[in-house]
Each structure stands twice: as C-alpha cells, then as structure tokens.
C-alpha cells in the first residue's frame, strides 16, 4: 500500500508517517511527485494490512491510503506515475531521447575498444558497451579480459566522454565493476540471482537489468523490484529476447514487452536486437521495431572486424553498418516520439484493487 500525503504536508508529518511504518517493522520508501509526497509501505503485511491502513489514514498530513495491486510495488506506475529519467555523465535515459548503447560484445584489446569507441561516438552513440566478464555457455570459450578490460573501458570513457556499461556476473565483482563502469549490466542468465540483485541495489550506479530468457514480464519486474527495494532507484530494463521453439533466430524478441513494461512500470526500457536475433542482418529491422514500439533506446554490438570477434561474431555490426543503423533510426525515432502518448492512459486502467485484466497475468 502507499500513503498519499496532503499537498504541502510538513516534514514533521512525513517523518511521523515514516516512523509509524518503521515501528510496524515495515520499510517506508518515499516518492516526491510533482505535487505531493507518496510513501510506499514495503514488507510482509499479511493479515495486518487493513488495520494498519486504517491507522495510517488517521495520521496528521495523510490524505489517503491506497493499496498497490501489483506484486511489484516501488517499480509500479501506481506508486510512481511519472517516467524515471536516469542521468549518467552527458547521457539522459528515459526522457524521450534515443539512447544508443553500442560497442563490442567483449573488450578484446585496447586498440579494438578504442577504434570501436571512436567510431560509435562519431556516429551518435550515447553509451559505450563492452564485456569484461563474459558469461559464456562453454567454459572453454573466451571468458573476457576481466579487470584489464575494465581499465580499457575507463580509458575509453576519458577519450570519448561516453559513459560505459559492462556486465557484473557475481556479487564479488560488484565493487570493482562499480569502480570503473558508469552503468552495471545484469545479464539474462543472472536475472534471478537475488544476492547479486541485492548487491547492485546498494551501489550508486544505474543498473541495466536484462530480461531472463525464460522469464515472464512479471518475473522481470519482480527482479527490478529487488534492486530498487535494496536502495537503487536507477534501473533500466532491457528486452533481449526470450527462448521459444524458433531456431532460425538465437532468441525471439518480445516487442510487446516494451509497451507492456511502459504501462506497468516507470522504468526506462531498452531493446537489444543483437542478442535477440543472433544475426547481423536482423539487427537493423528489429532495432527499428523496438524504436517504433516506444523503446527508450537500443543496445547493439559493434566490432571493427566482426568475423574475427572472440565472441558473438555472427551478430556484431561492423562500423559502417552501425553508421547506417544510426542514419536510419534517428529519423524514425523523431517520427514516433510523442506518438505513444501517456502509457498510463493508453493501456487499460491501472486496476487499483485488481480490476484490470493485466493484474491477472
Ligand atoms: C551481453 O550483453 O554481453 C550479454 C551477454 O547479453 P545477455 O545477457 O542478454 O545474453
Ligand atoms: Mn554478446
């Protein structure tokens, strides 16, 4: 449930509500909206719910107490209707601009990273990607350069001014990756690694959470809830394809997940057509599709000589293909931005109390 404070509620009244919530063994999370403060009550309420709601409603400065119908609370639009906008260096994610995250699957050398970084920056990328710790299906495949790659990424940031994103695979790597990178990526295989989610929830870096390849949208948002409830509100969602019976593509890109996520949550949504398709020539059409359905940005793998790449050779674009992709995507994004309207109003009613069909799924 969340407590809606009156417009102009005093600091003391807000503190009073929070200490009451703490006294019940629950955790208060406040959201400062454009007009008023809303405080979510997070924790296992059980049978006390109604009684506590009635009590909170009588406190000074409280306007109403409202249930949150979704299992995800802090990430839901009900609690936080405005879009979350994330700023990292000069990049702004979720404000209606097109975020373009580009770079190699794996950082293979300083030269390979710098050549790619310079080219994607010149073409208009806003974030540089590059894998340092690689989750590989085979233990015999290239596992990434690790900390050496993190150093190259930091140098590439100095060189280009672009914020860098890289994957963190286990809790023991969180501090070192957060020291070098601007955005931490949680890969598809780790979407439900709850101790890792909690740990990235405690660092002062935005986190991009890739959807598990076997995860429902609800499970994905519950995973995001782990990060936000651990103290990190800056979460970016990334649809990177789910596993279906189709074998021509590496995964199946779930385009419906983009407007659906925008309806259910205030977090920005990025699409990754590289991992979703696994095929270079399918990256451009699916990137276009992602932008057309309202994605806040696109992540693509780019390599100076993709055929020689040490990982994901078949899906990486070369530098000219990335320039072509940008030239195509930017005008399409200009055309579609603003057409989607308010995600709260365009979907079915948010269903406070469970009246929405969406809440059943
Ligand atoms: C990646 O982006 O480098 C990656 C491994 O992606 P995913 O976790 O989506 O497979
Ligand atoms: Mn890859």
pLDDT at 179: 98
Q: How far apart are CA 98 and CA 295, in angstroms?
A: 8
Is there an atom of ligand 1 within 6 Å of 167 CB? yes
CA of 342 to the centre of ligand 2 (A): 33
Residue that has been written with the tokens 């709850």 in this structure: 194
Which residue, among 208, 226, 108, has the nearest Cα to 167 in the 3D structure? 208
- Which residue has the least CA distance to atom 9 on ligand 1? 188
In ligand 1, the atom with minimum distance to the C-alpha of 301 is 2
Q: Give pTM, 2 decimals.
A: 0.94
In ligand 1, the atom with minimum distance to the C-alpha of 213 is 9
227 with 193: CB under 8 angstroms?
no
- From the CA of 193, the nearest ligand is 1
- From the CA of 167, the nearest ligand is 1
In ligand 1, the atom with minimum distance to the C-alpha of 131 is 3
pLDDT at 348: 65
Is there an atom of ligand 1 within 6 Å of 211 CB? no
Q: What is the 3-state secondary structure (H, E, C) of 306-334?
A: HHHCCCCCCCCECHHHHHHHHHHHHHHHH
DSSP string, 132-174: SS---SSTTS----THHHHHHHHHHHHHH---EEEE--SGGGH
Which residue, among 161, 205, 213, 157, has the nearest Cα to 185 in the 3D structure? 205
The DSSP bridge partners found for residue 340 are none
- From the CA of 311, the nearest ligand is 2
With 0-12 / 13-18 / 19 or more C-beta atoms within 10 angstroms meaning exposed / middle / buried, residue 342 is exposed
pLDDT at 66: 93
- Which residue has the least CA distance to atom 6 on ligand 1? 187
Pairing type for strands 62-66 and 2-5 reads antiparallel
Q: List the Cα angle 179/167/237 in 5-degree steps.
A: 110
pLDDT at 69: 85
What DSSP character marks residue 1? -
Question: pLDDT (tens digit, 0 to 9) for every residue of the chain, 361 residues total?
Answer: 999 999 999 999 999 999 999 999 999 999 999 999 999 999 988 888 999 999 999 999 999 999 888 899 999 999 999 999 999 999 999 999 999 999 999 999 999 999 999 999 999 999 999 999 999 999 999 999 999 999 999 999 999 999 999 999 999 999 999 999 999 999 999 999 999 999 999 999 999 999 999 999 999 999 999 999 999 999 999 999 999 999 999 999 999 999 999 999 999 999 999 999 999 999 999 999 999 999 999 999 999 999 999 999 999 999 999 999 999 999 999 999 888 877 766 666 654 333 333 332 2
In ligand 1, the atom with minimum distance to the C-alpha of 210 is 9
Contacts made by residues 160-163, CB under 8 angstroms, sequence distance 24+: 160/117, 160/118, 160/121, 160/128, 161/89, 161/90, 161/121, 162/89, 162/91, 162/117, 162/120, 162/121, 162/125, 162/126, 162/127, 162/128, 163/88, 163/89, 163/90, 163/91, 163/127, 163/128
- From the CA of 131, the nearest ligand is 1
Is there an atom of ligand 1 within 6 Å of 144 CB? no
Q: Tokens at residue 229, please? A: 């409830």
Q: How far apart are CA 56 and CA 62, in angstroms?
A: 7
Pairing type for strands 99-103 and 297-301 reads parallel
Q: How far apart are CA 280 and CA 36, in angstroms?
A: 48
- Which residue has the least CA distance to atom 8 on ligand 1? 187
CA of 301 to the centre of ligand 1 (A): 10
In ligand 1, the atom with minimum distance to the C-alpha of 135 is 5
CA of 252 to the centre of ligand 1 (A): 14
pLDDT at 1: 93
With 0-12 / 13-18 / 19 or more C-beta atoms within 10 angstroms meaning exposed / middle / buried, residue 159 is middle
């Amino acid at each position: 449930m969340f407590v809606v404070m009156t417009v102009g509620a005093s600091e003391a009244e807000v503190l009073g509500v929070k200490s009451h919530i703490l006294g019940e063994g629950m955790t208060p999370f406040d959201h400062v909206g454009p007009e008023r403060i809303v405080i979510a009550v997070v924790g296992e309420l059980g049978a006390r719910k109604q009684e506590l709601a009635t009590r909170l409603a009588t406190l000074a400065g409280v306007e109403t107490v409202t249930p949150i119908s979704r299992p995800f609370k802090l990430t839901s639009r009900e609690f936080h209707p405005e879009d979350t906008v994330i700023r990292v260096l000069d990049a702004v994610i979720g404000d209606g601009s097109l975020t373009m995250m580009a770079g190699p699957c794996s950082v293979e050398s300083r030269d390979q990273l710098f050549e790619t970084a310079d080219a994607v920056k010149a073409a208009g990328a806003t974030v540089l990607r590059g894998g340092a710790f690689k989750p590989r299906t085979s233990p015999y495949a290239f596992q990434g350069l690790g900390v050496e790659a993190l150093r190259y990424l930091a140098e590439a940031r100095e060189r280009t001014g672009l914020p860098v994103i890289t994957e963190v695979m286990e809790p023991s790597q969180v501090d070192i990756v957060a020291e070098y990178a601007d955005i931490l990526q949680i890969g598809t295989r780790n979407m439900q690694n709850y101790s890792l989610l909690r740990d990235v929830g405690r660092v002062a870096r935005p986190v991009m959470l890739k959807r598990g390849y076997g995860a429902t949208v609800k499970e994905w948002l519950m995973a995001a809830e782990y990060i936000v409830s651990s103290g990190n509100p800056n979460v970016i969602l990334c649809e990177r394809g789910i596993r279906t019976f189709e074998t021509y593509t590496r995964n199946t890109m779930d385009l419906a997940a983009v407007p659906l996520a925008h309806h259910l949550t205030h977090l920005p949504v990025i699409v990754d057509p590289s991992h979703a398709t696994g095929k270079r020539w399918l990256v451009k059409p699916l990137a276009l599709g992602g932008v057309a359905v309202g994605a806040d940005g696109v992540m693509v793998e780019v390599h100076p000589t993709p055929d020689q790449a040490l990982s994901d050779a078949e899906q990486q674009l070369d530098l000219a293909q990335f320039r072509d992709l940008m030239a195509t995507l930017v005008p399409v994004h200009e055309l579609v931005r603003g057409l989607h309207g308010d995600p709260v109003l365009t979907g079915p009613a948010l269903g406070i109390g469970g009246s929405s069909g969406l809440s059943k799924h």
